[in-house]
């Protein structure tokens, strides 16, 4: 049936839904920008846009990894825990200098990603269960390593968090570079295409001789590494390592950004531009409500409405 | 001896699904103590009939009279309560509950306080299962039991719920020989207790051992019914396959050109002693370059499993595969593909195409590593491969960027062929390459197979379409119950000989073929 | 569906487990934080930092051991059970548990401790375990106010007196439990307002960084602050109230939005130190100078008091977590048969530019 509607969309409604699925998130961002320019004082300033971009950068970075995982018909709930782990490991090894600390962080994140990937690819645990285990265990480990918030004074780390090039903060540059990199990997590399094929039809990919397990493991490792980057950047910005609260509910923000951006949870498709726009949409929405001092519960309700709209639009397309 | 009154009488049952007349005016009569064989090839209507009887579907037309009353079951549970129980291939009990709980589910013994009487339940469960030859700890979860034992529990449960009719859908497909014996003795007990059994199976030996009567379905219609003893194996097979003996049609109905020039060279594929537990037993076959070898046999005889075992998609417990003289190391699909073995799977939609990707991506999928440098896909090389095959195979798509899921079945099949041809394979395993595609596309695919063999590929052809199998193959290896029972070569490649071999009933040609097979 | 691949669970599982364990072990073995060379700054009780009682016995309801129905014992020979509610991951809980342990050691009392890790069901079973292990007296930092009936019954059956600290339980004092020792969160809010009025001169627009929604600490600290502002400085307007979830990161993010949209903001009241420190980071990032925006926070952690010393924070209202001395003092008095108040409210200190430097040692 889905096939029939795809060939010849008979209803205008179906066409509208399909348009919304593809462009809705950009329209949403544009709408929020226009509304804010009209009603929010001091909105049209470089400073404001910098603030929004800096705040959304870690979410975008995590959402990039999440988009890859969702593209394989999986989900990674452990990203928030990996951020916390990155924060505590950074604090723990900063005595050696920033670069060595970052290497150890990468090792830890790769370890979590490997564990996720191995559970999913070799043991066949459902992604939601496998990563749930690492979500709980990862944050536990982070708190064992660093039981409470610790202030960090490393100048290199501080400049990573608040410095920039030509007035553009490092955070924004790094997020933009990573988004371009991930988009390139998805579109142009063997790995990217194998990932999509596996997400769309795993049995077919297997019979076509694709290295299914290897691709899955790499995807989960990449997702964990991206989450670790976000964790280090957020820590650098805060100039403190706070494993108790850093990355709390980040998995949900990331999934929201991915889904709102038009990547279906059923796998086989990854929309990186949409994911970035999805994260920006949620950030602008939150900022609007905060700037107008509306009750925090409104933010949650507004987010819920956006998600419902995104899911409704996705319904119009279907998977096959 | 006058037959007892019938327990079930089905008259004129019909059921239509969108585009398919699944069941057309079918009658069925069951008497107490009758073991009735229900047979037919894929799509003949067996499962539709069973589902109508057990309340899964509602008939479009026709009546079901059960124990003298017209009935219309709304749900399987209703049918079960009335006395029609079904034992499926996959046991449908609750794996995490204990064996005893499963056995007594919904009618647990209660003590005088209305509480579950666990002690009594376990004791009775042990007694009941003991009579079925199942001796296990009934307090363990059901899933800890073997499949055979689970099936026995399902059966015991069915009998204990006062079933008058028990429907068994391929009950022996995953059983060990010893378990089959136990099952048969249970069926005999059911029969002696006056319960009617509907027995669905493709294993002819079992049918002749257990069943007294038979109904043969083909294309949704009943084509034969009566005592099984009246029909010898050959007649049974030909009825089922829809081929009258001695009425071999003229050649030319398919697009196959006839014999290929199988050069008398070393085989390109040699498989020896392939064994997959419960599925294949010691299957050997070889294919020479330029040769099309057909795999014959009934549904469930192990044709698809053979193809999958060769291509590494099905883990084998023993067996050796050599491709062009080089032994294949490792049992994985990628290893087989690297060696030059390509499989066009039977289930095109779920195991073949990647529906959300474009024609272009689907064709390039397996060959991606060859079309890339340093992990980056060379779009130019992909385009040239795609253009070549779209033209050569005459794939009809609005553009190479159209999603494969939107194409017709025939074009999807061609895309899959293109995917494998892009790998320059040595051996093509084609599992039902023309099923579900329209007549024109079918002829095109058949012609392609011919051309590919002429180019020197070794082809293994699996088809339920006898005509296609006979005319397309230079040689036919016949499987039955997961083992090779014969091989037809040269002038013996005829429908008549094929059916005799499948039936395997005292035909001299059969023994000759068997000898030939062991020689090869 | 047919399973088309073979799996190797037996191999993979131990590998994963072993890997995780190895990583965790090596992680701490060669760690080196920035502060490894500096001396460890955590937590011995600083002199003069123990709690003082704000409401003396005058007039308040009291309780004696006879009224409660337990038997006199000598605290020195008793076993005291302590049930902590949240994991010791923030300075408040760390200092609270440490204070109880230190005081027990000082008095030579046998102490059993348990931590519910923020799970209420675990706290219930924790307390029951403490009773089973032979606790004669209980000190409980409850996670919830409700749902304590099973524990209270078990304690009553064994005639074990209970003191609750920092959060009240909904039950009858001097029957279900003896006393409740805590800070007055509304009063903390009022005193924060006083500091804010002083810092801003009582004029202008201020913002509140709320704690987590639905938390009694949040509601009470907000209530006290707003009451006092309305009463004493009607020209001070609260124009912004957003939650920072008691975390530094959220405090930073919300403050960034705040100073974008309301550049004229004069003061920020943060309902805990962490959010206040987040606000400081945000102000620094926006190129503000210390004192441009007045910040008042509640809790009294060392980092926040250091902020006062540095001039970024105008005032910190203390919420003293060192319950040990007062709790054991109360138990001692009670078990001797003398009367103790049912509600014991702590007198919290405060830090501002005048005393921060000399009193930073009292901060936790």
A78-87, A151-160, B46-55: which has the highest mean pLDDT? A78-87
The DSSP symbol for C166 reads S
Cα–Cα distances (Å) from B503 to B198, B203, B328, B432, B494, in that order, read 22, 10, 34, 22, 14
pLDDT of residue A59: 96
Closest among B483, B477, B460 to B344, alpha carbons compared: B460
CA distance B90 to chain C (A): 11
User: Per-residue pLDDT for B338 more than 70?
Assistant: yes
Can you read off the two tokens belonging to residue B31?
């008497």
For position B515, what pLDDT does the model report? Answer: 45
Most confident range, picked from A81-85, B249-253, C134-138:
A81-85
Say if the Cβ atoms of A145 and C31 lie within 8 Å: yes
Q: How high is the pLDDT of residue A143?
A: 87
Nearest Cα to A276, choosing from A168, A178, A171? Answer: A178
Indicate if the pLDDT at residue C242 is higher than 60. yes
- The residues in C 260-279 lying below 8 A from A, measured between CB atoms, are 260-261, 263, 274, 277-278
- Cα distance between the two ends of chain C: 61
Does A293 contact C94 at a Cβ distance shorter than 8 Å? Answer: no
C-alpha span between B415 and B392 (Å, rounded): 11
pLDDT at C48: 56
- Long-range interactions of C351-356: CB distance < 8 A, separation 24+: C351/C300, C351/C304, C351/C305, C351/C308, C351/C315, C351/C316, C351/C318, C352/C195, C352/C308, C352/C314, C352/C315, C352/C316, C353/C308, C353/C311, C353/C314, C356/C305, C356/C308, C356/C309, C356/C316
Query: With left for phi above 0 and alpha for psi between -120 and 50, is residue A79 left, alpha or beta?
Result: alpha
Give me C61's structure tokens: 């309801």
Between CA B274 and CA B303 the distance in angstroms is 12
Contact C325, C99 (CB under 8 A): yes
Task: Report how far residue C152's alpha carbon sits from residue C169's, in angstroms, rounded to the nearest whole number.
Answer: 10
Q: Residue A68: what pLDDT?
A: 97
Indicate the pLDDT class of residue C6, thresholds 50, 70 and 90: very low
Contact of B404 with B412, CB cutoff 8 Å: yes
pTM, 2 dp: 0.78
Indicate if the alpha-carbon torsion angle C340, C344, C347, C348 is positive or negative: positive
Residue C38 has pLDDT above 60, yes or no: no
In this prediction, residue C68 carries a pLDDT of: 84
Helix (H, G, I), strand (E, B) or coil at A176: helix
In order of start, what are the domains of chain C with their CATH numbers?
52-182+321-346 (3.40.50.2300), 185-319 (3.40.50.2300)
Partners of B1 in the beta sheet? none
What contacts 24+ positions apart, CB below 8 Å, involve A291-300?
A: A291/A36, A291/A40, A291/A43, A291/C257, A291/C260, A291/C261, A292/A39, A292/A40, A292/C261, A293/C239, A293/C240, A293/C241, A293/C242, A296/C210, A296/C213, A296/C242, A296/C243, A297/C213
* Averaged pLDDT of chain A: 89
DSSP state at residue A291: H
Residue A318 has pLDDT above 70, yes or no: no
pLDDT tens readout for residues A35-56: 999 998 888 888 899 999 999 9
**H/E run at residue B376:** strand B376-377
More confident residue, C257 or B117: C257
CB-closest option in A55, A153, A291 to C261:
A291
CA distance B387 to B390: 5
Per DSSP, the three-state class of B324 is coil
Q: Which residues of C touch A234 (CB under 8 A)?
A: 249
- Would you state the pLDDT for residue B264? 58
pLDDT tier, C149 (very low <50, low <70, confident <90, very high otherwise): confident
Beta-carbon contacts below 8 Å between A and B:
86
CA distance linking residue A73 with residue A76, whole number of Å = 10
pLDDT at residue B516 greater than cutoff 50: no
Range name among A165-174, B140-149, B325-334, B369-378 with the lowest pLDDT average: B140-149
User: Best of B315, B317, B333, B335 to disrupt the C interface by mutation (most C CBs within 10 Å)?
Assistant: B315
Task: Kindly state the tokens that stand for A162.
Answer: 């608040």
Rounded to the nearest 5 degrees, what angle is found at the Cα of C117, between the Cα atoms of C111 and C121? 95
Q: Residue A3: pLDDT above 50? A: no
At B489, list the tokens: 């070569």
Burial call C303-340: b when 16+ CB within 10 Å, e when fewer:
bbbbbbeeebbbbbbbbbbbbbbbbbbbbbbbbeeebb
Token couple for B112: 């005088």
Give the distance from CA B299 to its chain's centroid.
Answer: 4
Indicate the average pLDDT of chain B: 84
Residue B383 three-state SS: helix
Query: What does the pLDDT read at residue A107?
Result: 95
pLDDT average, residue stretch B15-37? 88
Interface test with B, best of A9, A70, A208, A320 (most B CBs within 10 A): A208
Given A115, A152, A296, which is nearest C213 (Cβ)?
A296
CB contact at 8 A, B360 and B400: yes
* Chain B nearest C-alpha distance from A310 (Å): 20
Mean pLDDT calculated for residue range C165-177: 86
* Contact yes or no for C213/C243 (Cβ under 8 A): yes
**pLDDT tier at B89, thresholds 50, 70, 90:** low
Domain extent listing, chain A? 2-317
- The set of chains that have 3 or more CB pairs under 8 A with B is A, C
User: Are residues B514 and B491 in contact, defined by beta-carbon separation less than 8 angstroms?
Assistant: no
Confidence of residue A138 (pLDDT cuts 50, 70, 90): very high
Is the pLDDT at B292 greater than 80? The verdict is yes
Minimum mean pLDDT range among A91-95, B103-107, B240-244, B337-341: B240-244
Q: How far is CA B302 from CA A130, A253, B280, B520, in A?
A: 36, 50, 6, 20
Positive or negative CA dihedral for B277, B280, B282, B286?
A: negative
Is the confidence at residue B161, as pLDDT, over 80? no
Q: Does residue A296 sit at the B interface (CB-CB below 8 Å)?
A: no
Q: Tokens in use for C194?
A: 């006083």
Query: How close is the nearest chain A Cα to the Cα of B142, in Å?
Result: 22
More reliable by pLDDT, B56 or B11:
B11
pLDDT in the model for residue A265: 87
Closest residue by Cα to residue B462 from B303, B350, B322? B303
Residues 6+ apart with CB under 8 A from B314: B276, B279, B305, B308, C2, C4
Residue B446 confidence (pLDDT) above 60: yes
**Is the minimum CB–CB distance between B405 and chain C shorter than 8 Å?**
no
Q: Read off the pLDDT of each residue in B120-149 and give the average, rounded to a whole number.
A: 83
Q: CB-based contact (8 Å) between C153 and chain A?
A: no
| A2-317 maps to CATH 3.30.1180 | no
Spatial CB neighbours of B90, under 8 Å, sequence gap ≥ 6:
none
Among B123-127, B148-152, B422-426, name the one with the lowest average pLDDT. B148-152
Q: Which helix (H) or strand (E) holds C299?
A: strand C294-299
Residue A287: CB partners within 8 Å, gap ≥ 6? A36, A52, A55, C257
CA angle B250, B251, B253 (to 5 degrees): 100
Strands C315-318 and C350-352: antiparallel
CB C4 to CB B308 under 8 A?
yes
| pLDDT tens digits, one per residue of C262-297 | 999 999 999 999 999 999 999 998 889 988 999 999
Strands B483-489 and B475-480: antiparallel
Show the tokens assigned to B453: 């063999």
Instruction: Note whether C20 and A115 are within 8 A (CB).
Output: yes
| Percent of chain B whose pLDDT exceeds 70 | 90
Q: Is the dihedral of CA C264, C269, C270, C276 positive or negative?
A: positive
In chain B, the domains with their CATH numbers are: 1-83+162-231 (3.40.50.300), 93-161 (no CATH), 269-340+425-519 (3.40.50.300)
Mean residue pLDDT of chain C comes to 84
The alpha-carbon gap from C209 to the nearest alpha carbon of chain A, in Å, equals 11
Which two tokens mark B231?
A: 């029909």
Residues B223/B255, Cβ–Cβ less than 8 Å? no
The residue-averaged pLDDT of B19-36 equals: 89
pLDDT score for B278: 81
In terms of CA atoms, which chain A residue is nearest residue B403? A320
pLDDT tens column, B219-245: 889 999 999 988 888 888 888 877 665
Could you give the CA distance from residue B150 to residue A105 in angstroms, rounded to a whole number?
50
* Cα(B99)–Cα(B118) distance, integer angstroms: 12
Q: How confident is the model at residue A7 (pLDDT cuts 50, 70, 90)?
A: very low
What is the nearest CA distance from C27 to chain A, expressed in angstroms?
A: 8
Q: At residue C17, does pLDDT exceed 90?
A: no
How many interface pairs between B and C have CB atoms less than 8 angstroms apart?
11
Identify which of C12, C210, C249 has the shortest CB distance to residue A118: C12
Chain B's closest residue to A198, CA to CA, is: B354
Taking the C-alpha atoms of residue B74 and residue B56, their distance in angstroms, rounded to an integer, is 7
- Reply yes or no on whether the pLDDT at B443 is more than 50: yes
Q: How far apart, in whole angstroms, are the C-alpha atoms of residue B34 and residue B26? A: 19
Contact A85, A115 (CB under 8 A): no
pLDDT at residue B508 greater than cutoff 50: no
Q: How far apart are the C-alpha atoms of B472 and B469, rounded to whole Å? A: 5
CB-CB under 8 Å, B315 with C2: no
Residue C34: what pLDDT? 76
Q: Tell if the CB–CB gap between B368 and A194 is shorter than 8 Å.
A: yes
Which of C89, C222, C275, C364 is the best residue to mutate to test the A interface, defined by the most A CB atoms within 10 Å of its own CB? C89
Q: Which residues contact C59 (CB under 8 A, 6 or more apart)?
A: none
pLDDT at A75 over 80: yes
The pLDDT of B248-263, averaged and rounded, is 54
Contacts with A237 from chain C: Cβ below 8 Å: 252, 281, 285
């Amino acid at each position: 049936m889905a096939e029939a509607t795809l060939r010849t969309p008979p209803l205008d409604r179906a066409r509208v839904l399909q348009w919304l699925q593809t462009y809705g998130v950009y329209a949403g961002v544009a709408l929020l920008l226009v509304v804010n320019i009209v009603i929010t004082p001091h909105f049209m300033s470089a400073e404001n846009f910098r603030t929004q971009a800096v705040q959304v950068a870690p979410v975008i970075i995590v959402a990039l990894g999440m988009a890859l995982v969702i593209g394989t018909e999986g989900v990674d709930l452990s990203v928030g825990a990996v951020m916390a782990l990155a924060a505590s490991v950074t604090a723990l090894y900063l005595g050696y200098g920033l670069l060595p600390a970052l290497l150890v962080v990468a090792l830890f994140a790769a370890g979590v990603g490997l564990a996720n990937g191995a559970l999913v690819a070799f043991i066949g645990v459902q992604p939601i269960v496998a990563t749930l285990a690492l979500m709980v265990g990862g944050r536990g480990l982070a708190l064992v390593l660093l039981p409470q918030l610790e202030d960090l004074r490393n100048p290199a780390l501080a400049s990573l968090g608040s410095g920039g090039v030509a007035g553009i903060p490092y955070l924004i540059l790094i997020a933009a570079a990573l988004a371009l990199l991930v988009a390139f990997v998805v579109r142009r590399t063997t790995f990217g295409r194998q990932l999509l094929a596996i997400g769309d039809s795993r049995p077919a990919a297997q019979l076509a001789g694709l290295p299914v397990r290897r691709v899955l493991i790499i995807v989960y490792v990449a997702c964990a590494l991206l989450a670790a980057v976000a964790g280090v950047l957020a820590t650098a910005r805060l100039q403190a390592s706070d494993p108790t609260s850093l990355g709390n509910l980040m998995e949900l923000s990331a999934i929201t950004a991915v889904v709102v951006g038009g990547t279906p949870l059923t796998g086989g498709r990854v929309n990186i531009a949409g994911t970035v726009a999805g994260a920006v949409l949620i950030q602008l929405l939150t900022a609007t409500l905060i700037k107008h001092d509306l009750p925090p519960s409104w933010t949650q309700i507004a987010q819920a409405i956006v998600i419902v709209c995104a899911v409704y639009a996705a319904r119009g397309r279907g998977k096959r | 001896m006058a037959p007892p009154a019938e327990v079930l009488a089905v008259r004129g049952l019909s059921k239509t699904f969108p585009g398919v007349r699944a069941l057309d005016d079918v009658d069925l009569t069951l008497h107490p103590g009758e073991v009735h064989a229900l047979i037919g090839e894929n799509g003949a209507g067996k499962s539709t009939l069973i589902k109508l009887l057990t309340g899964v579907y509602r008939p479009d037309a026709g009546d079901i009279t059960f124990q003298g009353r017209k009935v219309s079951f709304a749900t399987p549970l209703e049918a079960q309560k009335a006395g029609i129980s079904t034992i499926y291939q996959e046991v449908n009990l609750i794996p995490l509950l204990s064996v005893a709980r499963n056995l007594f589910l919904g009618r647990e013994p209660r003590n005088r306080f209305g509480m579950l009487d666990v002690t009594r339940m376990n004791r009775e469960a042990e007694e009941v299962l003991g009579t079925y030859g199942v001796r296990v700890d009934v307090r363990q979860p059901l899933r800890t039991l073997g499949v055979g034992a689970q099936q026995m529990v399902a059966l015991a449960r069915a009998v204990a719920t006062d079933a008058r009719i028990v429907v068994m859908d391929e009950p022996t497909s995953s059983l060990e020989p010893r378990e089959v014996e136990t099952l048969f003795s249970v069926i005999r007990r059911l029969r002696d207790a006056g319960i009617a059994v509907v027995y669905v199976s493709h294993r002819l030996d079992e049918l002749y051992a257990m069943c007294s009567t038979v109904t043969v379905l083909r294309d949704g219609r009943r084509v034969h019914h009566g005592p099984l003893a009246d029909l010898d194996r050959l007649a049974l097979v030909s009825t089922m396959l829809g081929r009258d003996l001695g009425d071999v049609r003229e050649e030319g109905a398919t697009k196959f050109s006839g014999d290929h020039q199988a050069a008398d060279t070393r085989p390109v594929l040699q498989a020896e002693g392939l064994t997959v537990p419960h599925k294949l037993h010691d299957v050997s076959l070889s294919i020479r370059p330029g040769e099309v070898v057909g795999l014959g046999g009934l549904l469930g005889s192990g044709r698809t499993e053979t193809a999958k075992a060769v291509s590494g998609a099905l883990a084998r417990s023993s067996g050796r595969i050599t491709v062009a003289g080089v032994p294949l190391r490792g049992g994985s699909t990628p290893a087989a593909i690297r060696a030059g073995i390509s499989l066009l799977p039977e289930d095109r939609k779920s195991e073949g195409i990647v529906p959300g990707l474009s024609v272009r991506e689907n064709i390039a999928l397996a060959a991606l590593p060859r079309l890339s440098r340093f992990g980056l896909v060379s779009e130019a090389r992909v385009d040239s491969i795609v253009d070549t095959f779209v033209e050569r195979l005459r794939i009809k798509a609005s553009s190479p960027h159209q999603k494969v899921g939107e194409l017709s079945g025939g074009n999807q099949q061609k895309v899959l062929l293109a995917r494998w041809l892009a790998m320059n394979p040595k051996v093509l395993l084609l599992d039902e390459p023309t099923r579900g595609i329209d007549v024109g596309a079918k002829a095109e695919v058949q012609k392609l197979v011919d051309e590919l063999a002429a180019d020197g590929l070794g082809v293994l052809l699996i088809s339920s379409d006898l005509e296609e199998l006979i005319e397309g193959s230079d040689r036919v290896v016949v499987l039955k119950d997961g083992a090779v029972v014969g091989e037809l070569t040269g002038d013996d490649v005829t429908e008549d000989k094929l059916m005799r071999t499948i039936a395997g009933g005292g035909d001299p040609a059969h023994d000759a073929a068997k000898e030939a097979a062991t020689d090869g | 569906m047919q399973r088309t691949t073979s799996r190797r669970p037996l191999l993979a599982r131990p590998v994963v487990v072993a890997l995780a364990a190895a990583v965790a072990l090596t992680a701490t073995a060669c760690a080196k934080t920035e502060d490894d060379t500096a001396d460890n700054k955590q937590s011995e009780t600083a002199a003069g930092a123990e709690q003082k009682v704000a409401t003396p016995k005058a007039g308040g309801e009291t309780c004696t051991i006879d009224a409660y129905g337990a038997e006199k014992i000598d605290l020195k020979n008793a076993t005291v059970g302590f049930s902590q509610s949240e994991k010791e991951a923030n300075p408040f809980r760390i200092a609270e548990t440490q204070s109880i342990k230190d005081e027990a050691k000082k008095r030579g009392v046998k102490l059993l401790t348990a931590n519910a890790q923020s799970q209420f069901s675990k706290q219930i079973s924790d307390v029951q375990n403490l009773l089973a292990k032979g606790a004669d007296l209980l000190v409980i930092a409850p996670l919830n106010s409700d749902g304590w009936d099973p524990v209270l019954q078990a304690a009553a059956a064994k005639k074990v007196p209970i003191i609750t600290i920092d959060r009240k339980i909904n039950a009858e004092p001097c029957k279900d439990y003896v006393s409740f020792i805590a800070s007055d969160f509304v009063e903390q809010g009022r005193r924060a307002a006083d500091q804010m009025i002083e810092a801003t001169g009582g004029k202008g627009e201020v913002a509140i960084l709320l704690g987590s929604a639905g938390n009694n600490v949040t509601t009470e600290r907000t209530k006290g602050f707003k009451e006092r502002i309305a009463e004493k400085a009607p020209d001070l307007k609260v124009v912004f109230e957003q939650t920072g979830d008691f975390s530094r990161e959220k405090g930073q993010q919300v403050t960034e939005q705040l100073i974008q949209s309301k550049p004229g903001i004069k003061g920020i009241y943060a309902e805990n130190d962490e959010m206040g420190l987040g606000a400081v980071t945000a102000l620094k990032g926006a190129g503000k100078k210390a004192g441009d925006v007045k910040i008042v926070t509640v809790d009294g952690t060392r980092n926040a008091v250091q902020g006062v010393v540095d001039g970024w924070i105008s005032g910190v209202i203390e919420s003293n977590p060192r319950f040990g001395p007062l709790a054991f003092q109360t138990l001692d008095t009670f078990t001797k048969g003398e009367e103790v108040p049912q509600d014991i409210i702590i007198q919290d200190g405060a830090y501002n530019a005048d005393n921060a430097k000399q009193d930073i040692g009292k901060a936790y």
